[in-house]
Amino acid sequence: MSRDQATPLMQQYRDIKARHQHAILFFRMGDFFETFYEDAETASRVLGLTLTSRNNGAAAEVPLAGVPAKAVNEYVRRLVQQGFRVAICEQVEDPKLAKGIVKREVIETITPGAAFSDDLLDVTRNNFLCAVRLDGTQLGVAAADLSTGEFTLMRGTRADAGAMLGRLSPREVLVIAGDQGSQDALHGLDVLLTEREAWEFDAALAGDALAQQFRVASLEGLGVGAEDRTAVGAAGALLRYLRELQPGGVPHLARPVIERLGGTMPLDEMTRRNLELVESLRGGETEGTLLSVLDRTQTPMGARLLRQWILAPLTEREAIDARLDAVGAFVHDSSARTALREALDGVRDVERLSGKTAAGRATPRDVRALGDSLAQLPAVHAALQRVPPAGLLQALRDGWDDAAAIVAEIARTLVARPPVAIGEGDTIAPGVNSALDDLRAIMSGGKDAIAQLQAAERTRTGIASLKVGYNRVFGYYIEITNANKHLVPDDYQRRQTLTGAERYVTPALKEFEEKVLHATERTEQLERELFEALRAQVASEIARLQGIAATLARLDVIAGLGDVAAREGYVRPEVGDDYALEISAGRHPVVERMMPRDRFIPNDVSLTADARMIILTGPNMAGKSTILRQIGLIALMAQMGCWVPATRARVGIADRVFTRVGASDNLVRGQSTFMVEMSETSAILHTATARSLVLLDEIGRGTSTWDGVSIAWAVSEHLHDRVGCKTVFATHYHELTQLADELVAVRNYNVAVREAGDEVLFLHRLQPGGADRSYGIEVGRLAGLPAPVIARARALLRLLEGEDLAAALARPGSSVRAPTSGAVHPRQPEAAGQLGLFAAEPHPLLRALAAMDVNEMTPMAALTRLADLVGEAKRVSGS
């Protein structure tokens, strides 16, 4: 069809589509949702639908693809999970009453960042939609979870963009169209970017919109100040976008929580990844993460809050102590802890159920689940009363709300197990509405009436086989076999002819049918009205319900952390504003769970202002990386308010924790392993302060040995002299142990091993002093390298430890086998005219090298002497 010759129906479609150009429009037509034109082609390709066409009354045909209305949620889920936006266009009037084309409107647009459906949500994590505004170096972020109503404004710097958004893990981010700065700041985040007009981020317009949304005279009523203008601008764009997606409004959006610099610790991507806080390095799953160890929550909102706590450690001592004290109350009272966790076990997702109710999207079953969950509050409160009001618990007890009136009203109005949709079974409880009870009596009495009518007609006609039946096409009917047709009374009206019988209706039967059908329709209508009234009544209490959900979530997390601490033998850390980090018998919380308790070897660590850098050496597989991660996890656990795996821990609050552990590359960004390593190290050196904790593993190993040693040495000096932070540097560069002689606050430690012939036993115990061997060949043997390879490696190692391998290869009659034909050795025998370092008669330069005692030289003296020898070599060779 020519788009200039659209029928009224297609013109309606085009008008609606013009207002939702960036979404796939699902257009309701009876029992189906149809897509047309380009949307149909996309839906057909992505969903595997059959692409058909229809002329809709015109000459040309329109491409279309449709899905059943009953299955629409599954198709929407598949589209949204692949990054598409879907606009749902519903019929908003009864087709029977419509004059002309049925009125249709888009009731919501579903995007990856804005969804209510359980099919599109992970119960254990928030589904944040964010907006970002960058003003010079100042960053403003607004974040909302449409499913829960959470709304947060955050301030930071451009450098914090990755850490701030990485913590939220948004599914969608709004940015100013054409603002390359904002997009660069978000580079590397796997998220859908949605561009919006610049004026939508205007702080003044945003202030008016926020004041109107939350019914305050000015933003001061929300605790927002002039210094928050970047975050306010982002919030304005976010609010406008949400109103577009939800034409019915967002009444459940909670008053914004303002987060400013300093209250929580930003965690960059490499720290979150290297410490495996919430996602495993093995592919994004939670198994093997800190979250998997600490998550003993009983409710979905508790699980989401725990994730937030892990990703946002606190930096204020009072707030940390308030959490630690609350956890301690449940550690010390196992019976109260058990009672609370059992009471919470029956609580559903109050946060999201409340949000759906306030947004008018809750089904009868959802509202009943909300009521049943709230009915658990007295049991939760009784368990809470059994522990002392320590830390956070005091505020939770003081603000307790059991929502008794809401619980009573839901229980009074709804049946115990209502259906998902009105009309699929009884929704409203008996006794709520007398008119509804009368209609149900008519409907329930229908079977008796049918039996009476059938008996009367059999008597009247003398036809013993006469029966009364019903189907959706013809309604109620009387069926008489052909053998008895001569007995049919004159008032019978034939409706349908079958092979061996005829079906009739009578005036009395039609009257009965009309009465029953009217009762069915009226029952459904009345139930819908009563349910929607209940839902609106509950929705009016959304602020209370959100407060209750927040209280339950906090109690769930605190009790869960108390359970972990009690069962795993954790201790309460001493948290202070001083510098020191001292851990006695510390354990890795994840690794120790993967082995018998007595198999894990605990270790002590002490970092103070006078001994703030540890150079950690030791063989491969000895456990250096585990110790590094263990230190970082214990520090973060303490600052999130969790007890820690140790016998004692004293933690000076850190403003940041940085890690550079393990090798990785980024082929998508075109970066090698070494480039990624250097980029991450650079970020640490530019961002760390004296209050930071820095954990480095194998810096410099991705390049040549001497380049690597030089970089590692310089990095260590910078962190020691210029930054002054607490640092643990694990390395195989044993040359770095000489730093302890050069820098006053450096200490050497190694991870102990025991040798037994050619066998090596890894003790995994930290001890003072540096290591002088890496035992790489033993690791190769354990990994299953062939025995001839291991034997050859040992022979070469003995030569390398006693003399230069290349010299041995070059010497006539050497017992060391030379490389096979075609192999390239890094040091081939010198060509004529080249410096003869490996000639039969030692060159004076070679004698000079042999005379050097590097163990007695400082690094600077060694570099100076090396420069002299290089100069002499160039002079001799004429280069």
| Single-letter code of the amino acid located at 335 | S
Q: Is the pLDDT of residue 536 over 70?
A: yes
Given pLDDT bands bounded at 50, 70 and 90, which one contains residue 829?
A: very low
| Single-letter code of the amino acid located at 139 | L
Instruction: Give the mean pLDDT of the chain.
Output: 87
Cα three-residue angle 381-384-387, rounded to 5 degrees: 155
Concatenating the DSSP letter of every residue in 773-787 gives: ---HHHHHHHTT--H
Token pair in block for residue 197? 């007009």
Q: Is the pLDDT of residue 842 over 70?
A: no
CA distances from 184 to 164, 306, 783 (A): 15, 30, 43
For tokens 């009453």, the residue is 97
Q: Which of 226-235, 455-464, 784-793 has the lowest mean pLDDT?
A: 784-793
**β-sheet with 657-660: strand ranges across:** 657-660, 693-697, 726-730, 613-617, 746-756, 759-768
Helix (H) or strand (E) holding 47, with range, is: helix 37-47
Neighbours of 877 (CB within 10 A): 11
| Single-letter code of the amino acid located at 327 | V
Neighbours of 95 (CB within 10 A): 11
pLDDT for position 62: 86
Concatenating the DSSP letter of every residue in 166-223 gives: HHH--SEEEEETT-HHHHHHTTT--SEEEEE-GGGG-HHHHHHHHHHHHT-SSGGGGT
Q: Each residue of 269-321: pLDDT tens digit?
A: 889 999 999 998 877 688 899 999 999 999 999 999 999 999 999 999 999 99
Token pair in block for residue 418? 């209502």
Q: What percent of the chain has pLDDT over 90?
A: 59
Given pLDDT bands bounded at 50, 70 and 90, which one contains residue 815?
A: very low
pLDDT for position 666: 41
- Collapsing DSSP to helix, strand or coil, 666 comes out as strand
Given pLDDT bands bounded at 50, 70 and 90, which one contains residue 78?
A: very high
How far apart CA 582 and CA 589 sit, in angstroms, is 17
Global pTM value:
0.84
Q: 296 near 306, Cβ under 8 Å?
A: no
Q: Bridge-partner residues for 143, per DSSP?
A: 130, 152
Q: Each residue of 712-746: pLDDT tens digit?
A: 899 999 999 999 999 999 988 888 889 999 999 99
How far apart CA 308 and CA 278 sit, in angstroms, is 10
| Single-letter code of the amino acid located at 635 | A
Q: What is the distance of C-alpha 494 from the center of its chain?
A: 65
How far apart CA 81 and CA 383 sit, in angstroms, is 41
Q: Which of 111, 89, 77 is nearest to 28 (CA)?
A: 89
How far apart CA 202 and CA 240 sit, in angstroms, is 12
Q: Looking at 345-499, which runs of residues are DSSP E strands?
A: 467-471, 475-481, 493-497
Q: Which of 278, 269, 311 is nearest to 122 (CA)?
A: 278
- Phi and psi at 748, nearest 5°, equal -95, 135
**β-sheet with 493-497: strand ranges across:** 467-471, 475-481, 501-505, 493-497
Q: What is the CA radius of gyration of the chain?
A: 37
**Higher-pLDDT residue of 70, 441:** 70
- Phi and psi at 554, nearest 5°, equal -65, -45
Q: Each residue of 394-437: pLDDT tens digit?
A: 999 999 999 999 999 999 999 999 999 998 889 999 999 998 98
Q: What is the distance of C-alpha 475 from the center of its chain?
A: 53
pLDDT for position 75: 94
What stretches of 730-786 show up as alpha helix (H) in DSSP? 739-742, 776-782
Q: Is the pLDDT of residue 503 over 80?
A: yes
Q: Which of 694, 700, 745 is nearest to 721 (CA)?
A: 745
How far apart CA 102 and CA 108 sit, in angstroms, is 18
Q: 446 near 516, Cβ under 8 Å?
A: yes
pLDDT for position 673: 73
pLDDT for position 57: 52
Neighbours of 691 (CB within 10 A): 17
pLDDT for position 387: 94
How far apart CA 780 and CA 790 sit, in angstroms, is 7
Q: Each residue of 175-219: pLDDT tens digit?
A: 999 888 887 878 777 888 999 999 999 999 999 999 999 999 888
Residue 334 contacts by C-beta under 8 Å, 6 or more apart in sequence?
Answer: 566
Q: Is the pLDDT of residue 480 over 80?
A: yes
Given pLDDT bands bounded at 50, 70 and 90, which one contains residue 828?
A: very low
How far apart CA 284 and CA 269 sit, in angstroms, is 13
Q: Is the pLDDT of residue 826 over 80?
A: no
Q: Each residue of 548-557: pLDDT tens digit?
A: 999 999 999 9
pLDDT for position 683: 87
Q: Each residue of 608-657: pLDDT tens digit?
A: 999 999 999 988 778 888 999 999 999 999 999 999 999 999 999 999 99
C-alpha torsion sign, points 419, 424, 428, 431: negative
Token pair in block for residue 500? 């061996």
For tokens 């939760």, the residue is 380
CA distances from 351 to 49, 285, 400 (A): 36, 24, 16
Q: Is the pLDDT of residue 807 over 60?
A: no
